[in-house]
Amino acid sequence: MKMKLVLSFSIIIVINICFGLYSLRSLHILNERVVEENTWTLGISELGDLRFAIMSLRRFDLNYVQQRDEDHKKNTLQRRADTIKTRKRR
């Protein structure tokens, strides 16, 4: 009787240890995916920041040009209007 009790207790301990090791392995795999996703998200964020910087620079350049030269202002606005019309047609 005592032997069966020790054996069953040992089996329960072994099952718990295996479950714990499996949980640690799954957690490790999940952490690797999170780090990989964070790296990918950071890259996308940097691209978005770069796009925003370029748009701001264009906006600043356009405002500067508009304030200085009337002919260039008309040409620039006409080009932008043509571009918008062309994009809407597609």
State the pLDDT at residue 3. Answer: 87
Mean pLDDT of the chain: 77
pLDDT tens column, 30-78 = 877 776 666 667 677 777 777 777 776 666 666 665 566 677 777 777 8
Domains of the chain by residue range: 2-89
Say if CB 76 and CB 62 are below 8 A apart: yes
State the pLDDT at residue 4. Answer: 86
State the pLDDT at residue 80. Answer: 78
Q: Is the pLDDT score of 7 beyond 80?
A: yes
Q: Largest Cα–Cα distance in the chain?
A: 102
CA angle 27–32–34, rounded 5-degree value = 90
Q: Which residues contact 76 (CB under 8 A, 6 or more apart)?
A: 62, 65, 66
State the pLDDT at residue 67. Answer: 62
- In 3-state terms the chain splits into helix, strand, coil percentages (rounded to 5) of 95, 0, 5
